[in-house]
Amino acid sequence: MARRALITGITGQDGSYLAEDLLDQGYDVWGLVRGQANPRVSRVRKLLQDVQLVRGDLLDQGSLISAVERVQPDEVYNLGAISFVPMSWEQAELTAEVTGMGVLRMLEAIRVCSGITASRSSGSGQIRFYQASSSEMFGQVRETPQNERTPFHPRSPYGVAKAYGHFLTQNYRESYGMFAVSGILFNHESPRRGAEFVTRKVTLGVARIKLGLASELRLGNLEARRDWGYAGDYVKAMRLMLHAETPEDYVIGTGHTQSVRELVAAAFEAAGLDWEQYVVGDQALHRPAEVDLLCADPKKARVQLGWEPTVAFEELVAMMVESDLRLLSAGIDLEQDSSWP
Protein backbone atom coordinates (compact mmCIF):
# COMPACT_ATOMS: atom_id res chain seq x y z
CA MET A 1 0.00 0.00 0.00
CA ALA A 2 1.17 3.54 -0.73
CA ARG A 3 2.69 5.42 2.20
CA ARG A 4 0.55 8.30 3.37
CA ALA A 5 1.94 11.75 4.20
CA LEU A 6 0.26 14.69 5.91
CA ILE A 7 1.83 18.09 5.21
CA THR A 8 1.09 21.25 7.20
CA GLY A 9 1.98 24.40 5.24
CA ILE A 10 0.84 22.85 1.95
CA THR A 11 -0.05 26.33 0.56
CA GLY A 12 3.54 27.55 1.11
CA GLN A 13 6.65 27.30 -1.06
CA ASP A 14 8.06 24.14 0.56
CA GLY A 15 4.68 22.45 0.88
CA SER A 16 4.21 22.63 -2.89
CA TYR A 17 7.63 21.17 -3.75
CA LEU A 18 7.40 18.52 -1.06
CA ALA A 19 3.95 17.44 -2.26
CA GLU A 20 5.27 17.10 -5.83
CA ASP A 21 8.26 15.09 -4.61
CA LEU A 22 6.14 12.74 -2.49
CA LEU A 23 3.57 12.25 -5.28
CA ASP A 24 6.47 11.32 -7.61
CA GLN A 25 7.52 8.75 -5.00
CA GLY A 26 4.05 7.17 -5.09
CA TYR A 27 2.75 8.58 -1.79
CA ASP A 28 -0.85 9.42 -0.92
CA VAL A 29 -0.43 13.08 -0.06
CA TRP A 30 -2.72 15.05 2.23
CA GLY A 31 -2.41 18.77 2.95
CA LEU A 32 -3.70 20.57 6.03
CA VAL A 33 -5.45 23.84 5.11
CA ARG A 34 -6.83 26.47 7.43
CA GLY A 35 -9.47 29.17 7.27
CA GLN A 36 -12.99 29.35 6.00
CA ALA A 37 -12.03 30.65 2.55
CA ASN A 38 -8.24 30.66 2.22
CA PRO A 39 -7.39 32.19 -1.20
CA ARG A 40 -4.05 30.30 -1.31
CA VAL A 41 -5.87 26.97 -1.36
CA SER A 42 -6.86 27.58 -4.99
CA ARG A 43 -3.23 27.35 -6.10
CA VAL A 44 -2.92 23.97 -4.40
CA ARG A 45 -6.05 22.82 -6.21
CA LYS A 46 -4.66 24.07 -9.56
CA LEU A 47 -1.08 22.76 -9.35
CA LEU A 48 -1.43 19.78 -7.01
CA GLN A 49 -4.63 18.13 -8.12
CA ASP A 50 -3.69 14.75 -6.61
CA VAL A 51 -3.27 16.19 -3.12
CA GLN A 52 -6.21 15.63 -0.79
CA LEU A 53 -7.07 18.40 1.64
CA VAL A 54 -8.08 18.23 5.27
CA ARG A 55 -9.09 21.20 7.38
CA GLY A 56 -7.04 22.13 10.44
CA ASP A 57 -5.07 24.87 12.14
CA LEU A 58 -1.87 24.78 14.18
CA LEU A 59 -3.66 27.02 16.70
CA ASP A 60 -6.37 24.42 17.30
CA GLN A 61 -5.40 21.17 19.07
CA GLY A 62 -8.71 19.41 18.37
CA SER A 63 -8.49 20.07 14.64
CA LEU A 64 -5.02 18.48 14.48
CA ILE A 65 -6.20 15.37 16.34
CA SER A 66 -9.16 15.09 13.94
CA ALA A 67 -6.85 15.52 10.93
CA VAL A 68 -4.44 12.81 12.13
CA GLU A 69 -7.37 10.47 12.93
CA ARG A 70 -8.88 11.03 9.49
CA VAL A 71 -5.69 10.80 7.40
CA GLN A 72 -3.94 8.02 9.38
CA PRO A 73 -0.56 9.19 8.08
CA ASP A 74 2.69 7.24 8.08
CA GLU A 75 4.61 10.53 7.96
CA VAL A 76 3.79 14.07 9.12
CA TYR A 77 5.77 17.04 7.76
CA ASN A 78 5.21 20.13 9.91
CA LEU A 79 5.99 23.03 7.57
CA GLY A 80 3.22 25.37 8.73
CA ALA A 81 4.48 28.52 10.43
CA ILE A 82 4.51 32.28 10.45
CA SER A 83 7.78 32.28 8.54
CA PHE A 84 8.47 35.94 7.71
CA VAL A 85 11.00 37.16 10.28
CA PRO A 86 9.96 40.88 10.40
CA MET A 87 6.37 39.88 11.13
CA SER A 88 7.57 38.07 14.23
CA TRP A 89 8.41 41.41 15.90
CA GLU A 90 5.03 42.88 14.94
CA GLN A 91 3.05 39.80 16.06
CA ALA A 92 5.37 38.10 18.52
CA GLU A 93 2.63 36.30 20.46
CA LEU A 94 0.96 34.93 17.33
CA THR A 95 4.37 33.77 16.07
CA ALA A 96 5.01 31.98 19.36
CA GLU A 97 1.58 30.32 19.12
CA VAL A 98 1.82 29.17 15.48
CA THR A 99 5.54 28.63 14.92
CA GLY A 100 6.37 27.43 18.45
CA MET A 101 3.27 26.03 20.20
CA GLY A 102 2.00 24.68 16.87
CA VAL A 103 4.81 22.11 17.03
CA LEU A 104 3.65 21.00 20.49
CA ARG A 105 0.05 20.66 19.24
CA MET A 106 1.11 18.60 16.22
CA LEU A 107 3.33 16.32 18.32
CA GLU A 108 0.53 15.91 20.86
CA ALA A 109 -1.95 15.02 18.09
CA ILE A 110 0.43 12.28 16.93
CA ARG A 111 1.08 11.08 20.48
CA VAL A 112 -2.59 10.91 21.43
CA CYS A 113 -3.68 9.26 18.15
CA SER A 114 -0.88 6.68 18.48
CA GLY A 115 -1.78 5.86 22.09
CA ILE A 116 1.70 6.81 23.31
CA THR A 117 2.09 7.62 27.02
CA ALA A 118 5.02 8.11 29.37
CA SER A 119 4.90 4.39 30.21
CA ARG A 120 3.97 3.15 26.73
CA SER A 121 6.47 4.40 24.19
CA SER A 122 6.19 4.45 20.43
CA GLY A 123 6.56 1.08 18.67
CA SER A 124 7.02 -0.08 15.11
CA GLY A 125 4.50 1.25 12.59
CA GLN A 126 4.74 4.59 14.36
CA ILE A 127 4.02 7.90 12.66
CA ARG A 128 7.28 9.59 11.65
CA PHE A 129 7.46 13.36 12.26
CA TYR A 130 9.50 16.03 10.47
CA GLN A 131 9.88 19.52 12.00
CA ALA A 132 10.90 22.48 9.81
CA SER A 133 13.65 23.96 11.97
CA SER A 134 15.64 26.93 10.74
CA SER A 135 19.14 28.38 10.53
CA GLU A 136 17.58 31.49 12.14
CA MET A 137 18.09 29.59 15.42
CA PHE A 138 21.87 30.12 15.06
CA GLY A 139 21.23 33.89 14.90
CA GLN A 140 24.31 35.64 16.21
CA VAL A 141 26.54 32.78 15.17
CA ARG A 142 29.09 31.27 17.54
CA GLU A 143 31.10 29.62 14.73
CA THR A 144 31.22 29.45 10.94
CA PRO A 145 30.16 27.28 9.19
CA GLN A 146 27.26 26.15 11.38
CA ASN A 147 26.65 22.45 11.99
CA GLU A 148 24.33 20.29 14.12
CA ARG A 149 26.38 21.00 17.27
CA THR A 150 26.62 24.80 16.88
CA PRO A 151 24.86 26.52 19.84
CA PHE A 152 21.76 28.62 19.16
CA HIS A 153 21.48 32.39 19.75
CA PRO A 154 18.25 33.41 18.00
CA ARG A 155 17.83 37.10 17.11
CA SER A 156 14.08 37.34 16.45
CA PRO A 157 10.85 36.12 18.06
CA TYR A 158 10.64 33.80 15.03
CA GLY A 159 14.07 32.31 15.77
CA VAL A 160 13.11 31.84 19.43
CA ALA A 161 9.84 30.10 18.47
CA LYS A 162 11.74 27.80 16.09
CA ALA A 163 14.25 26.94 18.83
CA TYR A 164 11.33 25.91 21.09
CA GLY A 165 9.92 23.65 18.34
CA HIS A 166 13.36 22.21 17.71
CA PHE A 167 14.04 21.29 21.34
CA LEU A 168 10.50 19.98 21.79
CA THR A 169 10.90 17.65 18.80
CA GLN A 170 14.14 16.37 20.32
CA ASN A 171 12.37 15.96 23.67
CA TYR A 172 9.47 13.89 22.24
CA ARG A 173 12.05 11.66 20.57
CA GLU A 174 13.86 11.18 23.88
CA SER A 175 10.76 11.01 26.13
CA TYR A 176 8.49 8.80 24.03
CA GLY A 177 10.83 7.08 21.57
CA MET A 178 9.04 8.84 18.69
CA PHE A 179 10.66 8.97 15.26
CA ALA A 180 10.73 12.78 15.38
CA VAL A 181 13.43 14.76 13.57
CA SER A 182 14.30 18.35 12.74
CA GLY A 183 15.84 19.60 9.53
CA ILE A 184 17.82 22.77 10.26
CA LEU A 185 17.34 24.31 6.85
CA PHE A 186 19.23 27.35 5.62
CA ASN A 187 17.48 29.83 3.29
CA HIS A 188 15.99 28.17 0.24
CA GLU A 189 14.29 29.93 -2.60
CA SER A 190 12.50 29.36 -5.91
CA PRO A 191 10.10 30.98 -8.36
CA ARG A 192 7.39 30.04 -5.81
CA ARG A 193 9.02 31.97 -2.93
CA GLY A 194 6.74 34.46 -1.17
CA ALA A 195 7.12 38.00 -2.56
CA GLU A 196 8.03 39.40 0.90
CA PHE A 197 11.36 37.51 1.17
CA VAL A 198 14.42 39.31 -0.14
CA THR A 199 15.28 37.02 -3.08
CA ARG A 200 11.81 37.18 -4.60
CA LYS A 201 11.41 40.86 -3.75
CA VAL A 202 14.60 41.49 -5.72
CA THR A 203 13.76 39.25 -8.71
CA LEU A 204 10.24 40.72 -8.96
CA GLY A 205 11.75 44.21 -8.63
CA VAL A 206 14.23 43.49 -11.43
CA ALA A 207 11.46 42.16 -13.68
CA ARG A 208 9.27 45.23 -13.01
CA ILE A 209 12.15 47.61 -13.77
CA LYS A 210 13.14 45.69 -16.92
CA LEU A 211 9.54 45.85 -18.20
CA GLY A 212 9.18 49.56 -17.37
CA LEU A 213 6.67 48.88 -14.58
CA ALA A 214 8.87 50.39 -11.83
CA SER A 215 11.84 52.72 -11.61
CA GLU A 216 13.43 51.79 -8.25
CA LEU A 217 13.73 49.02 -5.68
CA ARG A 218 13.84 49.87 -1.96
CA LEU A 219 15.85 47.52 0.26
CA GLY A 220 17.17 47.28 3.81
CA ASN A 221 20.48 45.81 4.96
CA LEU A 222 22.65 44.89 1.95
CA GLU A 223 25.52 43.52 4.05
CA ALA A 224 23.73 40.52 5.64
CA ARG A 225 25.01 37.20 4.31
CA ARG A 226 22.92 34.08 3.72
CA ASP A 227 23.49 30.54 2.47
CA TRP A 228 20.89 30.42 -0.33
CA GLY A 229 19.86 27.15 -2.03
CA TYR A 230 17.03 25.84 -4.19
CA ALA A 231 13.82 24.74 -2.43
CA GLY A 232 13.29 21.81 -4.84
CA ASP A 233 16.54 20.28 -3.55
CA TYR A 234 15.78 20.92 0.13
CA VAL A 235 12.42 19.12 0.28
CA LYS A 236 14.16 15.93 -0.86
CA ALA A 237 16.31 16.14 2.27
CA MET A 238 13.12 16.21 4.40
CA ARG A 239 11.97 12.90 2.91
CA LEU A 240 15.44 11.34 3.26
CA MET A 241 15.50 12.27 6.96
CA LEU A 242 12.26 10.39 7.57
CA HIS A 243 13.60 7.37 5.68
CA ALA A 244 16.83 7.16 7.68
CA GLU A 245 17.33 4.19 10.01
CA THR A 246 17.58 6.32 13.12
CA PRO A 247 15.85 9.63 13.94
CA GLU A 248 18.47 12.39 13.88
CA ASP A 249 18.62 16.13 13.12
CA TYR A 250 20.46 17.46 10.07
CA VAL A 251 21.78 20.79 8.79
CA ILE A 252 20.76 21.42 5.17
CA GLY A 253 22.47 24.13 3.12
CA THR A 254 24.99 24.67 0.34
CA GLY A 255 28.12 25.56 2.36
CA HIS A 256 28.45 28.87 0.45
CA THR A 257 27.44 32.34 1.55
CA GLN A 258 26.59 35.54 -0.35
CA SER A 259 25.59 39.04 0.76
CA VAL A 260 22.28 40.68 -0.13
CA ARG A 261 24.41 43.11 -2.19
CA GLU A 262 25.79 40.16 -4.21
CA LEU A 263 22.27 38.80 -4.65
CA VAL A 264 21.11 42.18 -5.96
CA ALA A 265 24.07 42.50 -8.36
CA ALA A 266 23.49 38.95 -9.72
CA ALA A 267 19.75 39.52 -10.24
CA PHE A 268 20.14 42.85 -12.07
CA GLU A 269 22.96 41.40 -14.14
CA ALA A 270 20.75 38.46 -15.18
CA ALA A 271 18.43 41.05 -16.76
CA GLY A 272 21.29 43.11 -18.26
CA LEU A 273 20.84 46.00 -15.77
CA ASP A 274 23.21 47.90 -13.45
CA TRP A 275 21.77 47.64 -9.90
CA GLU A 276 23.38 50.84 -8.63
CA GLN A 277 21.07 52.90 -10.84
CA TYR A 278 17.90 51.48 -9.28
CA VAL A 279 18.42 50.29 -5.68
CA VAL A 280 17.51 52.74 -2.91
CA GLY A 281 18.47 52.10 0.73
CA ASP A 282 15.58 52.29 3.19
CA GLN A 283 16.35 52.44 6.91
CA ALA A 284 12.78 51.38 7.73
CA LEU A 285 13.51 47.96 6.24
CA HIS A 286 16.39 47.25 8.66
CA ARG A 287 15.56 44.84 11.53
CA PRO A 288 15.72 45.51 15.29
CA ALA A 289 18.33 42.72 15.54
CA GLU A 290 19.99 41.27 12.45
CA VAL A 291 21.44 37.85 11.65
CA ASP A 292 24.65 38.96 9.95
CA LEU A 293 26.08 35.73 8.60
CA LEU A 294 24.77 32.26 7.88
CA CYS A 295 26.78 29.51 6.23
CA ALA A 296 25.97 25.80 6.52
CA ASP A 297 28.20 22.83 7.07
CA PRO A 298 26.00 20.14 5.44
CA LYS A 299 28.57 17.35 5.77
CA LYS A 300 26.42 15.09 7.96
CA ALA A 301 23.55 15.16 5.42
CA ARG A 302 25.97 14.43 2.58
CA VAL A 303 27.61 11.48 4.35
CA GLN A 304 24.59 9.94 6.11
CA LEU A 305 21.72 10.79 3.73
CA GLY A 306 23.62 11.07 0.44
CA TRP A 307 21.99 14.53 0.03
CA GLU A 308 23.63 17.22 -2.13
CA PRO A 309 22.34 20.55 -3.47
CA THR A 310 22.14 20.64 -7.28
CA VAL A 311 21.47 24.32 -8.08
CA ALA A 312 24.21 26.94 -7.64
CA PHE A 313 23.47 30.50 -6.43
CA GLU A 314 23.84 32.25 -9.84
CA GLU A 315 21.65 29.59 -11.50
CA LEU A 316 18.99 30.01 -8.81
CA VAL A 317 18.92 33.80 -9.17
CA ALA A 318 18.73 33.57 -12.99
CA MET A 319 15.91 30.98 -12.72
CA MET A 320 13.90 33.34 -10.49
CA VAL A 321 14.52 36.43 -12.65
CA GLU A 322 13.49 34.55 -15.82
CA SER A 323 10.36 33.21 -14.15
CA ASP A 324 9.32 36.67 -12.91
CA LEU A 325 9.97 38.23 -16.32
CA ARG A 326 7.73 35.56 -17.89
CA LEU A 327 5.03 36.07 -15.25
CA LEU A 328 4.92 39.86 -15.52
CA SER A 329 5.24 39.82 -19.34
CA ALA A 330 2.12 37.64 -19.42
CA GLY A 331 0.37 40.43 -17.50
CA ILE A 332 -0.19 38.32 -14.38
CA ASP A 333 -0.98 40.55 -11.43
CA LEU A 334 0.36 38.97 -8.25
CA GLU A 335 -2.24 40.81 -6.16
CA GLN A 336 -5.01 39.06 -8.08
CA ASP A 337 -3.50 35.73 -9.11
CA SER A 338 -0.96 34.02 -6.89
CA SER A 339 -0.78 30.78 -8.96
CA TRP A 340 2.52 28.96 -8.70
CA PRO A 341 4.86 28.96 -11.70
Q: Which residues make up the interface to ligand NAP (CB under 6 A)?
A: 8-15, 34-35, 38, 40, 57-59, 79-83, 98, 132, 134, 185, 187-188, 194
Tell me if the bond preceding 145 is cis, omega within 30° of 0: yes
x/- site string to ligand G4F, residues 70 to 99, per CB under 6 A?
Answer: -------------x-x--------------
User: Measured between alpha carbons, how far is 254 from 188 in angstroms, rounded to an integer?
Assistant: 10
Render 190-253 in DSSP notation, one character per residue: -TTS-TTSHHHHHHHHHHHHHTTS-S-EEES-SS-EE--EEHHHHHHHHHHHHHSSS---EEES
With contacts defined by CB under 6 A, how many residues of the chain interact with ligand G4F? 21
- Helix, strand, coil % in the chain, rounded to nearest 5: 45, 15, 40
The residue from 17, 136, 172, 230 that is catalytic is 136
List the single partner that 287 binds among ligand NAP, ligand G4F, none, CB under 5 to 8 Å by kind: ligand G4F
Residue 290 CB neighbour total at 10 angstroms: 16
Residue 291 CB neighbour total at 10 angstroms: 23
- Which residue minimizes CB distance to ligand NAP? 12
What's the min distance (Å) between Cβ of 239 and ligand G4F? 19
Q: Does 255 bind ligand G4F (CB under 6 A)?
A: no
Question: Strand pairing of 225-226 and 258-259?
Answer: antiparallel
User: Measured between alpha carbons, how far is 160 from 144 in angstroms, rounded to an integer?
Assistant: 20
Q: Does 187 bind ligand G4F (CB under 6 A)?
A: yes
What's the min distance (Å) between Cβ of 86 and ligand G4F? 7
List the single partner that 132 binds among ligand G4F, ligand NAP, none, CB under 5 to 8 Å by kind: ligand NAP
Residue 261 φ/ψ, nearest 5 degrees: -60, -45
250 is catalytic: no
Q: Does 134 bind ligand G4F (CB under 6 A)?
A: yes
- Binding residue for ligand G4F (CB under 6 A) from 14, 28, 57, 136? 136
Residue 72 CB neighbour total at 10 angstroms: 12
What's the min distance (Å) between Cβ of 206 and ligand G4F? 13
Nearest partner of 180 among 112, 251, 113, 103, judged by Cα = 103
- Binding residue for ligand G4F (CB under 6 A) from 155, 166, 226, 236? 226
x/- site string to ligand G4F, residues 19 to 58, per CB under 6 A?
Answer: ----------------------------------------
Helices 260-270/313-329 angle, 10° precision: 50
User: Measured between alpha carbons, how far is 162 from 131 in angstroms, rounded to an integer?
Assistant: 9
278 is catalytic: no
Q: Is 8 exposed, middle or buried (0-12, 13-18, 19+ CB in 10 A)?
A: buried
- Binding residue for ligand G4F (CB under 6 A) from 285, 308, 329, 339? 285
Which residues in 94-109 are b (16+ Cβ under 10 Å) and which e?
Answer: ebbbbbbbbbbbbbbb
What's the min distance (Å) between Cβ of 293 and ligand NAP? 16
The residue from 134, 135, 156, 323 that is catalytic is 134
314 is catalytic: no
Q: Does 153 bind ligand G4F (CB under 6 A)?
A: no
List the single partner that 38 binds among ligand NAP, ligand G4F, none, CB under 5 to 8 Å by kind: ligand NAP
**Judged by CB, which is closer to ligand NAP: 68, or 209?**
68
Catalytic residues: 134, 136, 158
Q: Which residues bind ligand G4F (CB under 6 A)?
A: 83, 85, 134-136, 186-187, 196-198, 201, 219-221, 224, 226, 260, 285, 287, 290, 294
